[in-house]
Chains A and B, each alone.
Chain A
Amino acid sequence: MPWYLYLALKQLFPSGRRFPFFTFISVLGVTLGVALLVVVSSVMGGFGYEIRQMIVGTEGEVQVKAQGIIEDYPELLKKITAVSGVAAATPVASGVLMVDYHGKPAYPAMRGIDLSTVENVAHLDRYVRAGSLDDLDDDSVILSSELAESLGVSLGDTIEVYSPLMIEKLKNDEVFLPRQVRVVGVLEIGHQQLDSSTVYCTLRLAQELYGLGAGVHGIDVSLQDGVNEDDAAARLNAVLPPDVRAFSWEDTFSDFLWVLQLEKNMIFFLLLFIVIVAAFSVTSSLLISVVRKTREIGLLGALGAGPRQVAACFCAQGLFIGALGTLCGLALGFVALAFRNDVVLWVARVTQRQDVLRRFYNFSELPSHVAPGDITRIIVLTIVISTLAGLLPAWRAARLKPVEALRSE
C-alpha cells in the first residue's frame, strides 16, 4: 500500500488508541445521510414496485384496448398469444356498476374475468381474503374488501346490481329488474383505491350487464420472464388491427409513475444535501487536521515526500471517511428498512392514526423495494462527494513548504 494511503488510514484509525472524535463525527454525518437516502429511495421505490406488482398481478404487464368493443376476441387472442414474449392472454370486460345492499348503494368498478384463462395472467387467488375464486359463477360476484365492509356484506349474502344498460332502459320507459347476485368472496389487494370499490364477476355476467354479446372491452396480457413490456407492446401493435392498441402497464399509468419518479428524484436531491453538509464537516475537520499537523507535513517533505503524495494523503482521508460512512449508512439504512413497519405502526398507534395512514398512503404496510441502481447511485455519489471534500485540505497541505512547515509553531 502506498505510504500516503497507509498514513491516511493511520491518521483516521490510529492503532492502540481510541477512535478519534473527528473521525467519528465525520463518519457519523455521512452515515446518517446515506441511511436516510437508502430508506427514502427504497420506500419511494417500494411504492412504485408495489403498484407494479398490483397492476401486473391483477391485469398483466400489457393491456390491449379497443376504441369500442372487441367483437371477435378469440381470433385476436390467437394473434396475441402467437407474438414472441407473450406468455398468456385473457379477455376482460370493465365498466362501472351500481350495487345495493339493504338500501346502501355503492358505485364500484366492475371487472369481468374469463375464469378459464384469467389465472394464466392475473393471480387473483393470491388476494382472496375470504371465500374462493372457484365459487365464482354467472350468478355471483367477489367484492373488494373495503367495499364489502362499507356495504356490510358477508359471504353468501345477495346484493342487487344495476348497470348503465339498465339506466338506458329506464330512460326508454322499459321495465327492468336489478340483477341479484351472491357474494362468494372478498378480495384484498392491499391498495386502497382497488380495495375500496371493485366488483369481480365472470366475463359472461359482465357481458350480460353491459350488453356486449360475445364482445369484450380488452385483453390483458402476461409476458414471459425478462421480456420488456414496451418491446412486447410494440410487437403486439405490429400485428393488431389499427383500432386495437396494446399498452404496457407503464404506458397506462405513465402519469402516475412520472409523478412518483419526480417525487423520488426530488426527495433524493434534497436528502443528498445531508451528505453535502456532512462533506463540509469532513472538509472542516481535515482543514483543522492540516493546521494541527503542519510540522508533520513538513517532516514528510523532509523525508522525501512530494506535494502530490501529501495531497493524496488528505484526499484519501476524505475517501475513507466516505467509504466507511457509506458502509455504515447502508447497514443502518437496511436495518431501518427491516423495522420500518414496526416504527410506522408504532407512530400511527401512538398518534391513533392507523386508518389515516392506510387511507392516505393507499397501502396497509409501508412498502420497500431496494433497487440496485439506486444503491449504486448513493454509493458513488457519497464517495465522490466525500473525496471532493478532502480536496481543499489536500491542496492546503500540498502548498505547505517543508521548511516553513517545520518552522511553524
Chain B
Amino acid sequence: MSDALLTARALRKTYLSGDRRIEVLREVELVLAPGESVSIRGESGSGKSTLLNLLAGLDAPDAGEISWHGENALTAARRARFLGMVFQAFYLVPELDALGNVLLAARILGRPDAAARARAAQLLARVGLAERARHLPAQLSGGERQRVAVARALMNRPELLLADEPTGNLDEHTGDAVIELLLSLCAETKTALVLVTHNAAYAQKTGRQLFLHEGTLRDVQNSRFSVQGSP
C-alpha cells in the first residue's frame, strides 16, 4: 500500500459539446500526502470542479487512474468514510435542521448513535453554531449555512476534505471566516484538504498551491509558469 493518501496519474477527461470535443483535463498528476493542504486555482471552465469530482470518485476519468490509499476503487460506503465535501452552493437538506444536516453524514454511514449526535453537536459548537443547531437552513445566513456544510463534511472524520469554491456565494468577510475555519479544522483534525478557489489569498494559506491551466496541473511555487491571475 502506498503512503500517499491520494494519487492521480495521467488523468484525462473530455466532454462533448455538440460536435466539439473539449479536453478539460489532460495528463493531470497529483499526489496528496495525509494531512496535507493543497489549493487548486484556475480560470473559470478550466476543469477545477471536474478534477474535484474525479478525485471524489463521483466521475470517472477517460484515461489515467486514481488511487485512494493505494486502492483504485472508491465505493459509496468507502467514500462516506474517506472523504468529506464542501460545495459553493452549500447543498443543505432544507427539511433538516442544522444538527440534522450534520448528522446526515453519519446516518448515511449507518452510525446515527449517541456518540455521533454528540460529535455533531460538538462540531456545530466548533463552527460557532451551537445556538442554531435547531434552526432550518432557511433560517440561517449564507455564512452559517456554509459552516454547517463544513461541520457535515468533517462529521465522519474523513481523511480528505474536498472544498469546491466554498466562498463563492459568500461576501468577503464571511468568506474569510469560512476559510479560516476550514483550514484550522483541517489542521486540528489532520485532515488533508483540497481547496478549489479563485482567490489567491486563500490559496496562499494552504501548504501547496496548484494551478490548473489548459488541462494540466502545475505547482505554482516550483514553476515559471504564469498566467493572468496567477502569482
Min Cβ gap A311→B in Å is 13
Instruction: Output the nearest chain B residue to A303 by Cβ-Cβ distance.
Output: B108
Cβ < 8 Å to B, chain A residues 1-52: 2-3, 6-7, 10-11, 14-17
Q: Is the CB of B108 within 8 A of A17?
A: no
Known A296-B91, A304-B77, A306-B76; contact A403-B58, beta-carbon cutoff 8 A: yes
Task: Say yes or no for B104: interface residue by CB 8 A criterion.
Answer: yes
Q: B91 contacts A295, CB within 8 Å?
A: yes
Is the CB of B107 closer than 8 A to any CB of chain A?
yes
**Chain B: CB-nearest residue to A11:** B95
Report yes or no: A16 in contact with B136, Cβ–Cβ below 8 A: yes
Q: Report how many residues on chain B are interfacial, defined by Cβ distance under 8 Å.
A: 31
Given contacts A16-B136, A304-B76, A304-B79, is CB(A406)–CB(B104) below 8 Å?
Answer: no
B94 cross-chain contacts in A, Cβ below 8 A: 14
Chain A, Cβ-Cβ closest to B95: A14
Q: How far is the CA of A14 from the CA of B112 in the complex (A)?
A: 19
What's the Cα separation between A7 and B91 when bound, in Å? 15
Do A304 and B91 touch (CB < 8 A)?
no
B96 near A10: Cβ-Cβ < 8 Å: yes
B169 in contact (CB, < 8 A): no
Nearest B residue to A301, CB-CB: B58
B59 lies within 8 A of A403 (CB): yes
Docked complex Cα distance between A291 and B38 (Å): 35
- Chain A residues whose CB sits within 8 angstroms of the CB of B79 once the complex forms: 302, 304
Which A residues lie within 8 Å of B56 (CB)? 302
Within 8 A of A (CB), among B112-161: 112, 134, 136, 152
Q: Is B68 an interface residue (CB 8 A)?
A: no
Q: List 19 A-B contacts (CB under 8 A).
A: A3-B108, A3-B110, A6-B107, A7-B93, A7-B96, A7-B107, A15-B97, A16-B136, A17-B95, A296-B91, A302-B56, A302-B79, A302-B85, A303-B104, A304-B105, A304-B108, A401-B58, A403-B59, A406-B58
Q: Please name the 9 residue pairs, one residue from A and one from B, whose CB atoms are nearest each other, closest first.
A: A304-B80, A3-B107, A14-B95, A299-B91, A403-B58, A403-B59, A10-B95, A306-B76, A403-B53
Q: A11-B95, A14-B96, A295-B91 are in contact. List 6 more A-B contacts (CB 8 A).
A: A295-B89, A302-B79, A303-B108, A304-B76, A304-B105, A305-B108
